[in-house]
Structure 1
Amino acid sequence: MTDPSLPRLAPLPDEQWDDGVRHALSPLLPAERANPRDAGNILATLVRNQPLTHAYLTFNAYLLRNSNLSARVREVAVLRAALTSGSLYLWDHHVPLARRAGLTDAEIEDIRHGEPADPVDRLVVAAVGELAEHLRITEVTWAALGDHFDDDQRLDLIFTVGGYHLLALAVNTLGIAPEDYLKPSR
């Protein structure tokens, strides 16, 4: 029986980082940041499967950099997806990104409790909840989203939530440990 407090798969050791690893990380990390510390435990673990990491990071980089969603909406969705999938690791990683996207600490706490004051944030939280619980967005919520987002943005919202639920599955299953330099914001 494995110790649940230990990762099931450890991050790739420093001495095994090579050009293949750096290529696998290249969709998200520039070469100067493709190292164990800057990659963090999650990427340093996922990079054990380099083709999978490269493919997933290409998708993830789209979600983070090229999505039609605003940074604020993206981070509201990611924070709720982290919570609905039980990933404190992803929550802790995205709280600073949410702050950079303009969310206040009070708004982040409201998102944590599923009760944002902002009507668009509240709608995004509802959509994430429906996707987590029913694997679909209801007609009512879909129509309400259409009052604020075009079709491209609604598609990006679905795939952002799904992409982070997928990542949470890996984080939770592998037992990815928080980095020492992160201060949990739970």
Structure 2
Amino acid sequence: MTAAQEPRIAPLPKAEWSPEMTTFMAEYRSAAIGDKPSTGRQSGANLLGTLARYPALAKPFLTFNGHFLYGSTLSARQRELLVLRVAAVQRCGYEWAQHSILAADAGLEPEEIARIERGPSASGWSAIDGALLAAVDELLGDGAVSGPTWTALATEFDEHQLMDVVFTVGMYAMLAMALSSFAVAAEAALVPYLPAPE
């Protein structure tokens, strides 16, 4: 999505949310953020406002999404490696902008975040980080994790973690499709930077 493109589905202003949706969103954000102070850098307001137009979809979707934000067996760093690789492969500026902040909060260095777009073959990744990035490329390209990548992941991850890898990629690939198709704009405080296509 370019900066000048208008949203195809405009976010519903918070003042127009139903009381049920307002309560649900507050509970969702509280669970996702926990006790961390809000910096205003990663609000997700435009996405949440867009979803608020369709409460019957928003509530089950965000409940499912909540697992990956605060219930996953993967570490926050591992999750953000997966999500940013999805955003880079699918060229989703909104997802990249939001999750670059979450990745930094999870301990990824700026150089590592920038290197994600170069993929699993870029020098500097540990074996497990490279396998996580490879899993994203394989899932998005072929619909399955390859045997060698699965074996590499299984040396460190248990069954629940392996399942979380696959579902995290699927979840954020689906979200990237929605964000790009609805032309959801990054909030003004965010820079929807994505590395240039190869």
TM-score, L = length of structure 2? 0.84
Match of 1:118 in 2: 126
- 1:174 equivalent to 2:165? Answer no
Equivalent residue, structure 2, for 1:102: 107
Counterpart residue number, 1:28: 28
**1:75/1:97 contact within 8 Å kept:** yes
CA contact (8 A) 1:85 1:168 kept: yes
| Distance (Å, rounded) in 2 between the aligned partners of 1:111 and 1:158 | 18
**Aligned residue for 2:6?**
6
Please report the TM-score for the alignment, with normalisation by the length of structure 1: 0.89
**In the alignment, residue 75 of structure 1 is paired with which amino acid?**
E
Letter in 2 for 1:121: D
For 2:50 and 2:151, locate their aligned partners in 1 and report how far apart those are by CA, in whole Å. 40
Cα deviations by residue, 1:101-150 (Å, 9 ceiling, x for unpaired): 11101111111211252221111000000001001111111111101111
Relative distance call for 1:39 and 1:21 in structure 2 (3 A) is farther
d(CA) in 2 for partners of 1:136, 1:120 = 18
Q: 1:28-177 alignment to 2 at 5 Å?
A: 28-30=28-30, 38-114=43-119, 115=122, 116-177=124-185
2:164 partner SS: helix
Q: Percent identity at matched positions?
A: 38
Query: Which amino acid letter does the alignment assign opposite residue 187 of structure 2?
Result: E
SS of equivalent residue, structure 1 residue 180: coil
How far, CA to CA, are the matches of 2:23 and 2:142 in structure 1? 37
Post-superposition offset of 1:39: 4.5
Gaps of 5+ in 1: none
CA separation of 1:137 and 1:145: change in aligned 2, threshold 3 A: same
- Long gaps (5+) in structure 2: 32-37
RMSD across aligned positions (CA): 2.0
Q: Equivalents in 2 of 1:69, 1:59: separation in Å?
A: 15
Matched-pair contact (CA < 8 Å) for 1:26–1:54:
no
Identify if the C-alpha distance between structure 1 residues 164 and 44 changes in structure 2 by more than 3 Å, giving closer, same or farther: same
Q: Deviations over 1:66-113 (max 9, x none)?
A: 100011111100100111222111011001111111110111111121
**More moved, 19-28 vs 157-166:** 19-28
| Structure 1, 127-136 or 82-91: larger mean CA deviation | 82-91
Residue type at the aligned position of 1:126: A
Mapped to 1, the partners of 2:88 and 2:190 lie a distance apart of 18
